[in-house]
Amino acid sequence: MNNIYAIIMAGGSGTRFWPLSRKRTPKQVLTIQGDNSMLQETISRLKELVSLEMTYIVTNKQQMNVITQQLPGLSKQNYIIEPVPRNTAPCIGLAALHIHNIDPDGIMIVLPADHLVKNFDRFHEVVRTGIEVVEKYNPLVTIGIPPTRPETGYGYIQFEQSDKDLPDNVYSVKTFAEKPNQETAELFVKSGNFYWNSGIFIWRASRILSEIEERLPDQFHQLQRIKDAIGAPNYQQVLSNYFKRIRPISIDYGVMEVTSTPIFMIEGNFGWSDVGSWDELYRIAGKNTDGNVFTGEVATIDAQNNYIYSPDQLTAIIGLNNLLVVNTPTATLICPLDRAQDVKEIVEKLNKEKKTRYL
Amino acid sequence: MNNIYAIIMAGGSGTRFWPLSRKRTPKQVLTIQGDNSMLQETISRLKELVSLEMTYIVTNKQQMNVITQQLPGLSKQNYIIEPVPRNTAPCIGLAALHIHNIDPDGIMIVLPADHLVKNFDRFHEVVRTGIEVVEKYNPLVTIGIPPTRPETGYGYIQFEQSDKDLPDNVYSVKTFAEKPNQETAELFVKSGNFYWNSGIFIWRASRILSEIEERLPDQFHQLQRIKDAIGAPNYQQVLSNYFKRIRPISIDYGVMEVTSTPIFMIEGNFGWSDVGSWDELYRIAGKNTDGNVFTGEVATIDAQNNYIYSPDQLTAIIGLNNLLVVNTPTATLICPLDRAQDVKEIVEKLNKEKKTRYL
């Protein structure tokens, strides 16, 4: 039995939830549903699988303050700080260095801090299956989500039956497909052997490090320098120097799509949502009889199928349907729910116009 | 030459501009256009006609604080306080008592505090014509506005040529018509001899008092009690006792529609607007190339013909047209511009639900 470590990636900026999410309060630290922030929710989902001592958060300096407030029980040693964002491959590589340094046989569960899972029990079963498979075959393991619609915003995993002796819900990965167009997405969903790429992974630290060494030698070179300094008094400076030099690349593009190591996909039928935008949040929320979802004080006349997030002030709506309103004390967003994705353009616009007080 | 007094009616509650207008900050004290409040605008419009010493404000205790702040030059003696709202006939009657008490031959210009006039010069000419006519014939004089659309929200005045020797722009009033339905409004506008009833009047204090005495003897009776106490130490108490007992009635319904005294109407072609609702404000405002009207910080993508009032925070709009947004620190209204009138229903709803902190 190997030790199991959780690596929670919590460095994202989450502009898609503007104006609720801001630079210092990105999506993962927001309480978007229920009573806990998404990060707290992620931690509590893992509790049964991994002790808090073996749970690591990868984040950045800007977010440390709010995250440490949200996780009073987590030791300072369990934070891995990225000096700059370099996408998921360097992020996961950095975390793998730390785990490997503590425990060369350690198994990592890598997962984003800002997803929602409805069924914790099924989630635990799926992850335990993943750990079993890793212990038996030392592969790369990913979790695929059975698609419920032809979503063009996700990558897909094409899978097939494996010739290995695997549990029923574990498949062999054939290919990774990038975000498809609408037509292709519809074909994927129809085919039945394309699942959504959840970005949740299970593997040995040693396995992913040798993958990075083989497929991303350039990045690995910088990571080695950092590894050599772990525990040394100049660690922070070395980290800062070398991490900065790493070229950004995603783990999917840099490793998963190009590796010759077997990849297994486990069916993640645990009510997953990446809550990637306000309209996705509307989709998964409980609705009132008019199809509305309200947070805070809302008054309406002739208003149906709206998502109104207004925790701090009153929002009044007359004669409007399918609308998204996010009302915060300093900024308010109003748009049709099906244009919620375009909030990124507003954020870009404000950035360009240097209206940083709203970002 | 008689002395001219201005009577500005500033007691309205103005729920149609919620959430900008509140109980303590009704429409007339708001800066809805330009740099001055509507009341300040009304005063400055009159400056050339009436000195500040002869300008009287009829209002209530709740609004005194904000009004005196806006009019630092006006003496406390120039305020006439209504203990309770009783519609326009008692309001005008009370003001007439005060003017008559100072100056039995005084002429009153009666006008609401919350209208806008574009052309001050034309306004002055029209009022001066009214004063001349009053001095010559001692009639009731009202100002009619040439209609620019078949508005169903206003009363109309039917007029005809007079057999008297009157200036070109003065007519004899035939009838007052209450707010018409759409079909009737279209007929009125087509006919060319129906003008909008502006609610602006010019007459001798003595004339309107004898009208009230004749047509509203019940109301006149209470007003007499109040008149007898003007200047006495118990005035406030008498006012409070007797004004409360007056049955509410409008000057149009109580006097203008039933009197046998000649009424003259002057054509008020001075760019009048009662600014009765947010959509009227949008109609009269200068628009940008996308047909939008913005106050404050607004960011948009694909947004046309919207009225966004957001002086204190940022409002971001994506993919929406013909929308009204009024964004205040404690409450935000969002509705199609053509449903702006329904804001009253929201106010009623909040009232019913005792959410008075938003009112």
Percentage, residues of chain A above pLDDT 70: 100
- Are both B220 and B351 inside the same structural domain? no
- Are both A91 and A141 inside the same structural domain? yes
- Residue B135 sits at φ, ψ, to 5 deg, of -65, -35
Taking residues A85-110, report their average pLDDT.
Answer: 96
Domain boundary among A273, A296, A323: A273
Give residue A284's pLDDT. Answer: 86
Helix segments in A167-259, DSSP class H: 182-191, 205-215, 217-229, 235-245, 251
- Are both B262 and B313 inside the same structural domain? no
Contact criterion met (CB < 8 Å) for A358 and B330: no
List, for residues A234-283, the tens digit of each pLDDT value. Answer: 999 999 999 999 999 999 999 999 999 999 999 999 999 988 889 988 99
Q: What is the ipTM for the molecules in this complex?
A: 0.81
List, for residues A314-347, the tens digit of each pLDDT value. Answer: 999 999 999 999 999 999 999 999 999 899 999 9
Q: How confident is the model at residue B35 (pLDDT cuts 50, 70, 90)?
A: confident
Give residue A153's pLDDT. Answer: 87
- Are both B305 and B182 inside the same structural domain? no
List, for residues A2-59, the tens digit of each pLDDT value. Answer: 899 999 999 877 788 999 888 878 889 988 777 899 999 999 999 999 999 999 999 9
Percentage, residues of chain A above pLDDT 90: 87
Nearest CB partner across the interface for B331, out of A313, A318, A343: A313
Q: Is the pLDDT of residue B31 over 90?
A: no
Whether A296 and chain B come into contact, CB under 8 Å, resolves to: no
Give residue A40's pLDDT. Answer: 96
Give residue A113's pLDDT. Answer: 96
**Roughly what angle, to the nearest 10 degrees, separates helices B217-229 and B205-215?**
130
Distance CA B27, CA A347 (A): 34
Q: Is the pLDDT of residue B62 over 90?
A: no
List, for residues B326-354, the tens digit of each pLDDT value. Answer: 999 999 999 999 999 899 999 999 999 99
**Residue B280 contacts by C-beta under 8 Å, 6 or more apart in sequence?**
B273, B274
- Are both A184 and A107 inside the same structural domain? yes
* A263-267 and A293-304 beta bridge pairing: unpaired
Distance CA B164, CA A150 (A): 80
Q: How confident is the model at residue B21 (pLDDT cuts 50, 70, 90)?
A: confident
- Quickly count helices (H) and strands (E) in chain A: 11, 15
Give residue A356's pLDDT. Answer: 87
The residue segments making up the domain with residue A296 are 284-358
Q: Is the pLDDT of residue B14 over 80?
A: no
Model pTM above 0.90:
no
Nearest CB partner across the interface for B314, out of A315, A330, A336: A330
Contact criterion met (CB < 8 Å) for A331 and B349: no
- In the block, tokens 């005063």 appear at B43
**For residues A186 and B31, which has the higher predicted lDDT (pLDDT)?**
A186
- Are both A164 and A309 inside the same structural domain? no
Contact criterion met (CB < 8 Å) for B332 and A329: no
The answer as to whether A104 is a domain residue is yes
Residues of A in contact with B355 (CB under 8 A): 297, 299, 314
Contact criterion met (CB < 8 Å) for B331 and A325: no
List, for residues A122-148, the tens digit of each pLDDT value. Answer: 999 999 999 999 999 999 999 999 999
Give residue B33's pLDDT. Answer: 76
Substitution target in A16, A278, A314 with the highest count of B β-carbons within 10 Å is A314
The number of residues in chain B equals 359
Q: Is the pLDDT of residue B22 over 90?
A: no
- Are both A196 and A306 inside the same structural domain? no
Closest CA to A295 of A307, A284, A280: A307
Distance CA A82, CA A59 (A): 6
Give residue A25's pLDDT. Answer: 82
Contact criterion met (CB < 8 Å) for B297 and A350: no
B242-264: b or e for each residue (b if 16 or more CB lie within 10 Å)?
A: bbeebeebbbbbbbbbebebebb
Closest CA to B12 of B50, B46, B62, B55: B62
Going A311 to A315 to A317 to A323, the CA torsion angle's sign is negative
- Are both A266 and A292 inside the same structural domain? no
- 3-class SS string, B177-199: ECCCCHHHHHHHHHHCCEEEEEE
How does the average pLDDT of chain B come out, rounded? 95
Straight-line distance from the first to the last Cα atom of chain B, in angstroms, rounded to the nearest whole number: 46
Find residues 66-105 of chain B whose CB sits inside 8 Å of chain A.
none
Nearest Cα of chain A lies from the Cα of B165 at a distance, in angstroms, of: 52
Tell me if A67 sits within 8 A of A54, measured CB to CB: no
Give residue B89's pLDDT. Answer: 97
List, for residues A277-302, the tens digit of each pLDDT value. Answer: 899 889 988 999 999 999 999 999 99
CATH value at residue B105: 3.90.550.10
Residues of A in contact with B315 (CB under 8 A): 331-332, 334
Residues of B in contact with A339 (CB under 8 A): 318-319
Distance CA B332, CA B317 (A): 14
Residue of A nearest to B348 (CA): A299
Substitution target in A22, A292, A318 with the highest count of B β-carbons within 10 Å is A318
Q: How confident is the model at residue B234 (pLDDT cuts 50, 70, 90)?
A: very high
Taking residues B252-272, report their average pLDDT.
Answer: 96
Residues of B in contact with A342 (CB under 8 A): 301, 318-319
How does the average pLDDT of chain A come out, rounded? 95
Whether A301 and chain B come into contact, CB under 8 Å, resolves to: yes
Domain count, chain B: 2
Q: Is the pLDDT of residue B96 over 90?
A: yes
Domain boundary among A273, A305, A329: A273
Contact criterion met (CB < 8 Å) for B313 and A329: yes
Whether A342 and chain B come into contact, CB under 8 Å, resolves to: yes
Contact criterion met (CB < 8 Å) for A349 and B317: no
- Are both B206 and B345 inside the same structural domain? no
- Are both A70 and A210 inside the same structural domain? yes
Give residue B13's pLDDT. Answer: 74
Q: How confident is the model at residue B210 (pLDDT cuts 50, 70, 90)?
A: very high
Residue of B nearest to A323 (CA): B320
Domain boundary among B205, B240, B273: B273
- Are both A209 and A352 inside the same structural domain? no
- Are both A290 and A269 inside the same structural domain? no
Whether B348 and chain A come into contact, CB under 8 Å, resolves to: no
